[in-house]
Amino acid sequence: MNKTVFITGATSGFGRAAARRFAADGWTLALTGRRTERLEALREELSPLAPVHIATLDVRDAAAVKAVAAALPEGFRTLRTLVNNAGLALAPQPAQVVALEDWHTMIDTNVTGLVNVTHALLPALLATGRGASIINIGSISGQWPYPGNHVYGATKAFVKQFSFNLRCDLLGTGVRVTDIAPGMSETEFMLVRTKGDRAASDRLYHGTEPLTPEDIAEQIFYVANLPDNVNINRLEVMPTRQAWSAYAIDRD
Ligand code: NDP
Ligand code: 8X3
């Protein structure tokens, strides 16, 4: 069985943990992200376990995505699994005060980047057909609104709907599509969202038990290894110690 996985955003958080999880099972790994030195370190770490190809890639750059897909070496060209994980949130402040540039960056990464990669790698997944999977990392923020979620949550709502719509078009090809939607997870996510505010990131996770990168890597690995006749459409995963809140009401 072809067991090759292509992961975006493999330099940190869920993507790096997923790379380690697939490597532990001997999958062939194509790992991408913008930080080359982290990719090189991961290749060094995982090469004893599995074949590893790395490519420095900004998913926002459609031409670069196409070039990376075209340059996949022999042995990495037919994919069983694509993990569309690269993404970020910015600007946790209210919509009315945030910079337009931050909204653009989220849309360019989480929406345009994800479709760039999907479009470029669909032929490699279709070459596998039955048993192949596209696993898109959405978020609870694409389903449930909260203050400061504005464009970030909207990009993840796109991920959910794009995943469902892809399923319709790919029906009959054997290629499955899943939107994994995690809740609060301790990665570099909050550090990026606050542009480097370590104290704010630590405050968010302090005194509770967020999901870990390994928790989500395990879900990704589980979905990728389901029997060929099973498609989980959406998997929403929260920490036990996180839930929804009441409606907010503006009073005089
Ligand atoms: P991290 O910040 O730890 O990891 C994000 C990864 O995305 C990094 O590897 C980063 O690599 C990559 N990335 C960001 N922008 C780009 C880009 N333009 N091109 C290529 N790669 C990029 O956060 P998480 O692991 O938490 O985030 C992974 C995904 O999970 C994201 O889509 C996020 O929205 C989602 N998510 C996170 C949750 C959380 O609470 N942590 C919950 C729900 C969903 P590099 O900087 O090297 O390019
Ligand atoms: C990240 C989860 O709850 O911070 O996508 O929006 S949350």
Digit-by-digit pLDDT tens for the chain (252 residues) are: 789 999 999 999 999 999 999 999 999 999 999 999 999 999 999 999 999 999 999 999 999 999 999 999 999 999 999 999 999 999 999 999 999 999 999 999 999 999 999 999 999 999 999 999 999 999 999 999 999 999 999 999 999 999 999 999 999 999 999 999 999 999 999 999 999 999 999 999 999 999 999 999 999 999 999 999 999 999 999 999 999 999 999 999
Which residue's CA is the nearest one to ligand 1's atom 6? 9
pLDDT at position 130: 98
Separation between Cα atoms, residue 57 and residue 164, nearest integer Å = 26
Q: What is the pLDDT of residue 1?
A: 74
Contact 126, 132 (CB under 8 A): yes
What's the number of CA atoms in the CB half-sphere (13 Å) around residue 120? 24
pLDDT for res 44? 98
Say what the pLDDT of residue 239 is: 98
d(CA 74, CA 76): 6
Within 10 angstroms of residue 6's Cβ, the number of other Cβ atoms is 28
- Catalytic residue check, 146: no
3-class SS at 231? coil
Residue 13 Cβ < 6 Å to ligand 2: no
Is the CB of residue 178 less than 8 Å from the CB of residue 223?
yes
Here the tokens at position 109 are 């990464």
How many Å apart are CA 90 and CA 189, to the nearest integer?
A: 9
Rounded to two decimals, the pTM is 0.98
pLDDT for 128: 97
Query: What tokens were used for 12?
Result: 């940190």
CA-CA-CA-CA dihedral for 227, 173, 29, 2, to nearest 10 = 60
> Is there an atom of ligand 2 within 6 Å of 140 CB?
yes
Instruction: Give Cβ neighbours of residue 206 (< 8 Å, ≥ 6 apart).
Output: none
CA of 182 to the centre of ligand 2 (A): 7
Helix (H) or strand (E) holding 137: strand 133-137
Q: Structure tokens of 209?
A: 């038990």
Cα–Cα–Cα angle for 37, 110, 160, nearest 5°?
Answer: 130
Tell the residue nearest (CA) to atom 9 of ligand 1: 9
